[in-house]
């Protein structure tokens, strides 16, 4: 019987599939670390108080990338190039999710609108990251190799999501509510398409590596499409709601170290 646990266990047990999984994860986290670092360097004076939190966000993402690379090294594996059609962060940027890299490479300060857009985009993508890590935590928190990494990253992703909620509510109260609502909706609808497409590519890659049957591949593809239909019909709304989180000032301190991995 197919289940999230059995599928991921197959990926975990095979060196080639595990190598691809960790390489994709490490690449995405490293990209997020760079983006947050640049945003922190260019934050406008009106939002200067956000600077340390954005730095913390980027430091967490860098740490996650190091953790996934350390998991590879522990098994004597080297990272592989991420297939372009499985590069979640790059595909999101093409859809307008996240600030353009040309803007981040420049030395011009960002605008307050840019910061609103950054936080709204992050609120959507951090929802996905939090849910995925919660799923892994549910099934692999006690795994001897993966458990500590999963718990640490999951806790960080929950902090990132809480930070986005809190800061967007602050900006909404300051007069940006209509803009935030529009960007959240546009971002969520774009993200669910990208997530579907990347999931299909990822499963096809894993199927080739692990020798899955055509029937199994068809069943997994049908499941991915079913998730997209659910999200398109209304599931996307969970990505756009805002509520004051239980974890206030979740990124108010320095990033926690991960000496057991890095």
Beta-carbon contacts of 150 under 8 Å, excluding residues fewer than 6 positions away, are: 133, 136, 137, 140, 141, 143
pTM higher than the cut 0.85: yes
For residue range 128-140, what is the model confidence (pLDDT) as tens digits?
Answer: 999 999 999 999 9
pLDDT at 262 over 50: no
Which has more pLDDT, 255 or 156? 156
For residue range 198-225, what is the model confidence (pLDDT) as tens digits?
Answer: 999 999 999 999 999 999 999 999 999 9
Work out the burial of residue 100: count CB atoms within 10 Å of its CB; fewer than 13 is exposed, 13-18 middle, 19 or more buried.
Answer: exposed
For residue range 153-186, what is the model confidence (pLDDT) as tens digits?
Answer: 999 999 999 999 999 999 999 999 999 999 999 9
At residue 261 the predicted structure's pLDDT band, cuts being 50, 70 and 90, is low
Average pLDDT along the chain: 94
pLDDT value for 96: 86
CA–CA separation, 196 and 215 (whole Å):
19
Q: What SS3 class is residue 80?
A: coil
Work out the burial of residue 217: count CB atoms within 10 Å of its CB; fewer than 13 is exposed, 13-18 middle, 19 or more buried.
Answer: middle
Q: Which domains does the chain have, with CATH numbers?
A: 4-239 (1.20.1260.10)
């Amino acid at each position: 019987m197919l289940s999230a646990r059995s599928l991921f266990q197959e990926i975990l047990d095979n060196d080639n599939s595990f190598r691809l999984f960790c390489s994709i994860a490490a690449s995405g986290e490293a990209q997020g670390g760079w983006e947050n670092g640049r945003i922190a360097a260019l934050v406008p004076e009106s939002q200067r108080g956000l600077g340390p939190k954005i730095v913390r966000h980027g430091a967490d993402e860098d740490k996650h990338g190091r953790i996934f690379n350390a998991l590879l090294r522990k098994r004597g594996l080297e990272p592989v190039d991420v297939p372009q059609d499985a590069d979640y962060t790059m595909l999101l940027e093409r859809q307008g999710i996240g600030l353009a890299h040309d803007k981040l490479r420049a030395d011009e300060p960002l605008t307050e609108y840019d910061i609103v857009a950054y936080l709204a985009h992050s609120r959507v993508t951090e929802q996905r990251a939090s849910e995925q890590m919660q799923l892994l935590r549910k099934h692999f928190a006690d795994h001897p190799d993966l458990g500590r990494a999963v718990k640490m990253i999951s806790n960080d992703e929950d902090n990132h999501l809480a930070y986005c909620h809190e800061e967007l509510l602050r900006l909404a109260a300051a007069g940006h509510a209509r803009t935030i609502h529009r960007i959240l909706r546009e971002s969520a609808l774009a993200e669910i398409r990208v997530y579907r497409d990347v999931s299909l590519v990822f499963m096809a890659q894993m199927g080739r590596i692990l020798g899955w049957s055509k029937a199994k591949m068809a069943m997994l593809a049908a499941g991915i499409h079913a998730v997209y239909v659910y999200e398109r019909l209304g599931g996307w709304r969970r990505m756009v709601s805002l509520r004051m989180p239980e974890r206030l000032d979740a990124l108010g301190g320095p990033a926690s170290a991960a000496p057991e991995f890095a």
